[in-house]
Structure 1
Amino acid sequence: MDAVSHLLRLARVTAGLDRRCLLGGSTRMNVARRRHLQAQFHVLLEGECLMQVGTTVLTMKSGDLVLIPGGAPHRVITPGDGTPRTTTERAGDSFITTNSEGGGPAVVDLFCGHYTFDPGAGAVLFRSLPDPVHVSFGDAPETDKVLRMLSTLMRDEAQRDDAGTSAILSALSTVLLAMVLRTSRRSATAEALWTAASDPRIAKAIESVLDDPGADWSIERLARAAAMSRATFLRHFTQDTGMTVGAFVARARVMAAAELLGASDATVATIAGQVGYQSESAFSRAFRSEVGTTPARFRRDQRLQTRTTASTSDALGA
């Protein structure tokens, strides 16, 4: 399985479209922080605007997508010299339509949504990404064509806003995330996106570790698989991913372990061995470093969450 598909499966990502923004000039739209285990995204179908995330200001053009993995509050600013305007909202069956206060012609067509992910592999994946991520799909003919098709589908479905619209827009939003994770085209100042290694030899090494995280992935073995010398492999890996080989292998193992902790009754020691650790203590340290809690507590919390969700579903169905 390719790396992006593997990661999305481990992360258990679900998507939702929150609003379509048809904003006029001189508009300021403030977007609140998302809740825990959610990331925000914005895809600009037409026009140009600024996206301010903390002290970072991004210029978005048609075909751009901004992903905010940490879900931080931010602001959308449309061009114009008039008095800054706020926004108005109109709720639909599947999403909110946002317009500029006072009306007038729209200068941007912006879709805004969120991704929800699990507290194990999903949290590790999104925490490992630059924040924010800014991708310009319109810069490459092959991705621009796909985005235009998606844009047409999203617009048509948004106009329809009928039975199944939420499910369709959710699926299309997940497609957008997959495109982001595999896109290596970034601005010169952007951080490396390790999921989109541009060197096929490095990409192959990443896929190999994700497919079998418990194997003995020494630097020498990975370098041989990539048909590189040890020094060349280390240099290219860091350039392409922004991290060391050791950090990546540990991350891949923890993500696989999180899935096993939730899906099996195997002991923590057994799972540690399955993902390549010789000792339970070393595994626990690595897991806590990536996830923020011990494997045992993570498993307890997951099971408690599952029971709570099941009880809520039973109560609603009674």
Structure 2
Amino acid sequence: MDALSEAMRAVRITGALFFNGEFSAPWRFVTPAQDEIGPTISPDSERLVLFHLVTEGRATARTAGHDEVDLEAGDIVVFPHGDAHELWNGRTSRLFPGTRLLPKLANGEMAAEKWGGDGPVTRIICGYLGCERHAESLFLRGLPALLKTNVRRSPAGAWIESAIRHCASEAESQRAGRLAVLAKLAETVFVETLCRYMDELPPERTGWLAGARDANVGRALALLHRDPARAWTLPDLARASGTSRTVLAERFAQLMGESLLAYLARWRLQLGARLLLSTNRKVLQVACDVGYESEAAFNRAFRRTFGAPPARYRRERKAGQPTAAEP
């Protein structure tokens, strides 16, 4: 059972590599927050994860309110919540004019640019992962504003970097399928980064990824995400996870910050919200699809979480109106 894979299958994800930069020191560039850049590079995504892979040279990264992070070749720096950030090497007041990338980004193309002075060269490939808001309560939950790992420390990571460099070097070619390959590579590099981050978590860390890494909690999470509509009970999940219900309940609460059944109820409602917006199914059918025995029970729970009953939520969201509350 792989909780991370099951969770990622449950969230609509798109990815792309969008920038291949060659910078000579001194240089500096700023990436706006997801709210500013998202409508251009991924207008259908509710959340944007931004990342940069250093393939040669050195750089420093920083986002507001956090310490600087030094980067070297093979490092990937990820901004899981799409925060505005900057990268640089050397001192300069001149910013890379990122606005000139907009036409290519709007067309879904990969831009290649050179910029900077006459110092040491740093090569960086930038990408993003676009996903639904539900990702914030799953594999993005509890992640810091910035995280770093080095892909060259594992054979799989080294292969991914090699493939990305090869595809980026052919960004200007017109070979069929190249954009699809770049999109899959962007998703792959993000998953690899998450896996390495999970492996490096200290034993005392809590949060979704810590729960997914735990043998018993991870199996329970995978089961819930694989079959959320099943009438799960704590004893059922404990037996399927190979532990006692007391141990599972305590460990789940410790790592996840809520009870197992509370987590399941919240996830069912998020799935219900997605079905309301992505299908024309009646509210009763949606309720049944996510594990509710009656439309009335679904309506009550949905209104408590989203601030509006399902039918009104669907109507207002499709009309572009914000609802009273979002989880």
TM-score (norm 1): 0.75
Change in 2 beyond 3 A, CA 1:205/1:286: same
**Aligned to 1:56, what secondary structure does the other structure show?**
coil
Answer with 197-206 or 91-100: which moved more: 91-100
Which of these residues, 220, 226, 232, is aligned with residue 211 of structure 1? Answer: 226
Flag structure 2 segments of 5+ consecutive residues without an equivalent.
Answer: 39-45, 321-327
1:169 equivalent to 2:199? Answer no
Deviation at 1:181, TM superposition (A): 4.3
Any conservation in 1 of the 2:151–2:161 contact (CA below 8 Å)? Answer: no
Which of these residues, 37, 52, 55, is aligned with residue 65 of structure 2? Answer: 55
2-side partners of 1:203 and 1:253: how far apart?
Answer: 18
After superposition, where does 1:135-214 map in structure 2 within 5 Å?
A: 135-138=148-151, 141=153, 144-161=154-171, 162-163=173-174, 164-183=177-196, 184-186=198-200, 188=202, 192-194=207-209, 197-214=212-229
Letter in 1 for 2:67: V
Deviation at 1:55, TM superposition (A): 0.7
Any conservation in 2 of the 1:43–1:63 contact (CA below 8 Å)? Answer: no
Deviation at 1:213, TM superposition (A): 0.9
In percent, how many aligned pairs have the same letter?
26
Change in 2 beyond 3 A, CA 1:292/1:100: farther
**Aligned to 1:256, what secondary structure does the other structure show?**
helix
Any conservation in 2 of the 1:130–1:191 contact (CA below 8 Å)? Answer: no
After superposition, where does 1:30-179 map in structure 2 within 5 Å?
A: 30-35=30-35, 37-46=46-55, 47-57=57-67, 59=69, 60-78=71-89, 80=90, 82-83=91-92, 85-88=94-97, 94-107=109-122, 109-118=123-132, 121-122=134-135, 125=138, 128=141, 130-132=143-145, 134-138=147-151, 141=153, 144-161=154-171, 162-163=173-174, 164-179=177-192
**Aligned to 1:17, what secondary structure does the other structure show?**
strand
Deviation at 1:214, TM superposition (A): 1.8
1:14 equivalent to 2:14? Answer yes
> Any idea what the Cα deviations from partners look like across 1:58-104, whole Å, max 9, x if unmatched?
524444434334322111233x4x44553256757932234443243
1-side partners of 2:305 and 2:115: how far apart?
Answer: 42
Any conservation in 2 of the 1:66–1:132 contact (CA below 8 Å)? Answer: no
> Any idea what the Cα deviations from partners look like across 1:197-248, whole Å, max 9, x if unmatched?
2223222211111121122333333223222233322333245545542443
2-side partners of 1:132 and 1:222: how far apart?
Answer: 33
Change in 2 beyond 3 A, CA 1:85/1:243: farther
Any conservation in 2 of the 1:213–1:253 contact (CA below 8 Å)? Answer: yes
2-side partners of 1:25 and 1:242: how far apart?
Answer: 45
For residue 235 of structure 2, what is the aligned residue in structure 1?
220
Any conservation in 2 of the 1:136–1:185 contact (CA below 8 Å)? Answer: no
**Aligned to 1:87, what secondary structure does the other structure show?**
coil
Letter in 1 for 2:22: L
**Aligned to 2:121, what secondary structure does the other structure show?**
coil
Any conservation in 2 of the 1:20–1:95 contact (CA below 8 Å)? Answer: yes
2-side partners of 1:44 and 1:244: how far apart?
Answer: 37
2-side partners of 1:44 and 1:168: how far apart?
Answer: 17
1:28 equivalent to 2:43? Answer no
2-side partners of 1:247 and 1:99: how far apart?
Answer: 51
Any conservation in 2 of the 1:15–1:113 contact (CA below 8 Å)? Answer: yes
For residue 273 of structure 2, what is the aligned residue in structure 1?
258
**Aligned to 1:166, what secondary structure does the other structure show?**
helix
Deviation at 1:111, TM superposition (A): 2.0
Which of these residues, 306, 310, 314, is aligned with residue 299 of structure 1? Answer: 314
Answer with 195-204 or 164-173: which moved more: 195-204
For residue 42 of structure 2, what is the aligned residue in structure 1?
none
Any conservation in 1 of the 2:49–2:129 contact (CA below 8 Å)? Answer: yes
TM-score (norm 2): 0.73
Any conservation in 1 of the 2:210–2:255 contact (CA below 8 Å)? Answer: no
Letter in 2 for 1:197: A
Change in 2 beyond 3 A, CA 1:25/1:289: farther
Aligned alpha-carbon RMSD (Å): 3.6
**Aligned to 2:229, what secondary structure does the other structure show?**
coil
